[in-house]
Amino acid sequence: MHELAITQSMFDLVLRQAEKAEAKKVGKINLVIGEMTGIVGDCVQFYFDFLSKGTLAEGAVLSFVTIPPKARCRDCGKTFEIIEFDWACPYCQSNSMEIIAGKELFVESIEVE
Amino acid sequence: MEMKVLTIQEDILGANKEKARRNQEQLDKHGILTVNVMSSPGAGKTSLILQTINKLKGKTRIGVIEGDVTSSIDADKIHQQGVPVIQINIPGGCHLDANMIENALKNLPLEDIDLLLIENVGNLICPAEFALGEHKKVLISSIPEGDDKPFKYPLMFTEADVVLVNKIDLLPHLKFDTDAFSQAIKGINEKVEIFQISCTTSQGIEQWVSWLLTQMGGR
């Protein structure tokens, strides 16, 4: 549900960077989104199309790289991907872990002309 | 015209984080401990704030910011206690952000507040993402919601400094494994403090308030 606020922040950031680079048009925006954020890409695109109307980012394609949650086991020290949010270490079955990936939310790059 | 790639690598929530940092600076200047209270709707955020006001009356000067989609029902309850309160209504919104708090702080008597309690919008998803400038995040999870919540809303549970298990008086009537619940949270959030409380019987409120007072020490 917070996609509108996220999209607004992302749009502001992209526009600021594009203007700084004196770009005429933004063609593509490459985003990195961790799965734990629960951000729905389709929603972001929908809001983006609405927000970007009449700006130099109008019509830009959003590309998403999604990062699955990863953890480091506090007992055996191994790192692993958390599959379907099953919170157990696949090597030693421990439930004690440090989450090391999956919360990302950033703009990696933009393609401009 | 040829396309060129600009590497950005910038946090989408960077602007909010920056504003939150400035809010915290302002709160620090006034020596105010600020707590962001989050939970699903009906878990007991307002009841907790009322209990906290009641316990600290005459000892600690409290201020409250109330976040709701609509209405001033909660703010009215706080106001009746003689505590300064700002209501933020966000029609169609699902969380508070640093900008809203910045505006609310302009309308609070910061000189007369030692502890600021911010009641976020009832929601276990969105508020986890938006820093407000708070020093501590408190998550209330209540017995009727079930003991599987840490697995369903992991981000919120990894972000919390304290989890309050509310409505503990209902434990005899409902199926809820408190040990499994605590273990699940500790598994993904090693530093978390967990207290069992009831805002109806006041069980555990003493512990919660003493935790708060410890955090306020030295401010």
Tens of pLDDT, residue by residue over B9-34, are: 999 999 999 999 999 999 999 999 99
Evaluate whether residue B217 is within a structural domain: no
For residues B123-136, one letter each, b for 16 or more C-beta atoms within 10 angstroms of the residue's C-beta and e for the rest, the string is: bbbbbbbbbbbbbb
- Identify any residues that bridge with A106 across adjacent strands, giving them in sequence order: A32, B11
Checking DSSP bridges between strand B193-196 and strand B115-119, what pairing results, if any? unpaired
Global ipTM? 0.91
> Ramachandran region of residue A46, left (φ > 0), alpha (ψ -120 to 50) or beta?
alpha
What is the predicted pLDDT for the residue at A1?
A: 63
- The amino acid present at B151, given as its one-letter code, is F
What is the C-alpha separation between B19 and B29, in angstroms, rounded?
Answer: 15
**How many folded domains does chain B comprise?**
1
What would the pLDDT profile of A55-112 be if each residue is shown by its tens digit?
Answer: 999 999 999 999 999 999 999 999 999 987 778 999 999 999 999 999 999 999 999 9
Enumerate chain A positions whose Cβ falls within 8 A of a Cβ in B: 1-2, 5-6, 9-10, 12-14, 17-18, 21, 23-25, 27-28, 31, 36-38, 69, 71, 74, 85, 87, 94-99, 103, 105-113
Domain ranges for chain A, please list them: 3-112
Q: Looking at residue B80, which CATH number applies to its domain?
A: 3.40.50.300
From A60, A63, A71, select the one nearest A96 (Cα to Cα). Answer: A71
What is the predicted pLDDT for the residue at B119?
A: 97
From B210, B140, B197, B137, select the one nearest B171 (Cα to Cα). Answer: B197
Which three-class secondary structure state does DSSP give residue B23?
A: helix
Euclidean distance between the first and final Cα of chain A, in Å? 32
Evaluate whether residue B87 is within a structural domain: yes
Which CATH number is A3-112's, of 3.30.2320.80, 3.20.10.10, 3.40.640.10, 3.30.70.20? 3.30.2320.80
**Helix H or strand E encompassing B7:** strand B4-11
From B76, B110, B109, B72, select the one nearest B88 (Cα to Cα). Answer: B72
- The alpha carbon dihedral of B18, B21, B23, B29 has a sign of negative
Nearest CA in chain B to A21: B6
What is the C-alpha separation between B57 and B32, in angstroms, rounded?
Answer: 16
Evaluate whether residue B144 is within a structural domain: yes
Residues of B in contact with A108 (CB under 8 A): 7-9
For B199, phi then psi, to 5°, come to -75, -10
- Least Cα separation, residue A70 to chain B (angstroms): 12
What is the predicted pLDDT for the residue at A2?
A: 85
Angle of helix B14-29 versus helix A3-20 axis, rounded to 10? 100
At residue B1 the predicted structure's pLDDT band, cuts being 50, 70 and 90, is low
Nearest CA in chain B to A18: B6
In degrees, rounded to 5, the angle at the alpha carbon of residue B163 between the alpha carbons of residues B162 and B168 is: 140
Number of H helices, E strands in chain A: 2, 6
Evaluate whether residue B41 is within a structural domain: yes
Residues of A in contact with B186 (CB under 8 A): 96
In A23-96, at which residue ranges do the beta strands (DSSP E only) sit?
26-34, 61-67, 70-73, 79-81
Mean per-residue pLDDT for B91-111?
A: 94
What is the predicted pLDDT for the residue at B2?
A: 82
Evaluate whether residue B218 is within a structural domain: no
Rg of the Cα trace of chain B? 18
The verdict on a CB contact (< 8 Å) between B155 and A24 is no
**Percent of chain B predicted with pLDDT > 90:** 91
Residues of B in contact with A5 (CB under 8 A): 95, 97, 126, 130
Which three-class secondary structure state does DSSP give residue B88?
A: strand
What would the pLDDT profile of A14-60 be if each residue is shown by its tens digit?
Answer: 999 999 999 999 999 999 999 999 899 999 999 999 999 999 999 99
At residue B91 the predicted structure's pLDDT band, cuts being 50, 70 and 90, is confident
Select from B2, B15, B154 the Cβ nearest to the Cβ of A36: B154
What would the pLDDT profile of B153-194 be if each residue is shown by its tens digit?
Answer: 999 999 999 999 999 999 999 999 999 999 999 999 999 999
Domain extent for B175: 14-211
What is the predicted pLDDT for the residue at B219?
A: 76
Q: How many CB atoms neighbour CB A110 within 10 A?
A: 26
The verdict on a CB contact (< 8 Å) between B155 and A37 is yes
